[in-house]
A = this chain, B = another copy of it.
Amino acid sequence: MGKRTTARVLSDQALRLVADRFKALSEPTRLKLLMALETGEKTVSELVEVAGTGQANVSRQLQHLAEAGILGRRREGLNVYYRIVDPGVFQLCDVVCGSLQDYFESRARAFGG
């Protein structure tokens, strides 16, 4: 699987969409919420416990992720349950974690690790 010889071509509009997807994952708070949701749907209150920030902010970040097409929303009485609807998210995290591991391991070796 070498380098491409033909350029990947995406319209500016498509590029904007891809960039927005990445932007949705570019904040620790949102990543923390996603990790908490990996084991199943949770209410906003439950997520506030985990997030380490206020309820208003959690509500906003959840909305952000929902608008990005990553989360789904379901009301049940007083509670609102959020859940992951885009299965690709954790694949992305795995790839990034792998890259970071490679990155730091190579630097560790550079110092005689």
Question: Chain A interface secondary structure, helix, strand, loop or mixed?
Answer: helix
Bound: A36/B78 CA distance, A: 50
Find chain B residues with CB under 8 A from A40 CB. Answer: 3
The verdict on A19 contacting chain B, using a C-beta distance below 8 Å, is: yes
Measured CA separation A4–B23 after assembly (Å) = 24
Number of residues on chain A facing chain B (CB within 8 A): 47
| Complex interface residues of chain A between 83 and 113 (CB less than 8 A to chain B) | 86, 88-93, 95-100, 102-103
Minimum CB–CB distance from A94 to chain B (whole Å) comes to 9
Q: With A and B bound together, what is the CA distance between A99 and B84 in angstroms?
A: 13
User: How far is it, in angstroms, between the C-alpha of A91 and the C-alpha of B18 when the chains are bound?
Assistant: 13
A62 to chain B, nearest CB (A): 16
Residues of chain B within 8 A (CB-CB) of A27 are: 19
